């Protein structure tokens, strides 16, 4: 695994977690709508209550998956912090931290550091050469 692939794991995992959270919220909204509809009807058709139960079960499954991925993200972020901490040059550390810990866009990194967009990319490529992937998790 390259240094860039190693450091990018947090970004992708964070996006997956956010997507999962949105799915949970959508299912909870659907669950609330179905429950509200059922409570306002005078009669119940067979099987309609099962929809609420099915959605509830799916929400609980997604919450379990969400929690597992959050735990994984904490571990990955610790590994990323460890790898960035091993870089000696402070400028490289700062750039890598903005990108891989704060998930900042390249344009914002350039503004934050006061450099041209292209220069930030050159610095990033150089910084990646100094990243040592941590085998053990020392920092969470």
Smallest CA-to-CA distance from 8 within 114, 84, 119, 91 is with 84
Q: Is the pLDDT of residue 8 over 80?
A: yes
Q: Domain extents for the chain?
A: 3-128
Give the highest mean pLDDT range of 7-11, 39-43, 52-56: 7-11
pLDDT, average across residues 70-86: 94
pLDDT tens for each residue of 117-130: 999 999 999 999 99
Q: Tell me how many degrees the CA angle 94-100-104 measures, rounded to the nearest 5.
A: 80
Number of Cβ within a 10 Å radius of residue 45:
8
**136 or 102, greater pLDDT:** 102
Global pTM?
A: 0.72
Using the 8-state DSSP alphabet, how is residue 86 labeled? T
pLDDT bracket for residue 140 (50, 70, 90): very low
Exposure on the CB side of residue 83, measured as CA atoms within 13 A: 28
């Amino acid at each position: 695994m390259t240094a860039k692939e190693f450091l990018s794991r947090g970004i992708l995992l964070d996006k997956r977690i956010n997507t999962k959270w949105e799915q949970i919220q959508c299912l909870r909204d659907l669950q609330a709508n179905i429950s509200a509809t059922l409570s306002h009807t005078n009669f119940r058709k067979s099987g309609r209550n099962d929809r609420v139960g099915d959605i509830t079960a799916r929400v609980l499954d997604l919450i379990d998956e969400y929690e597992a991925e959050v735990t994984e993200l904490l571990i990955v972020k610790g590994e990323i912090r460890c790898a960035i901490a091993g870089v000696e040059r402070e400028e490289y550390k700062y750039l890598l931290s903005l990108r891989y810990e704060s998930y900042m866009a390249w344009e914002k990194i350039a503004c934050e550091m006061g450099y041209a967009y292209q220069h930030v990319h050159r610095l990033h490529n150089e910084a990646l050469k100094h990243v040592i992937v941590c085998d053990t998790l020392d920092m969470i």
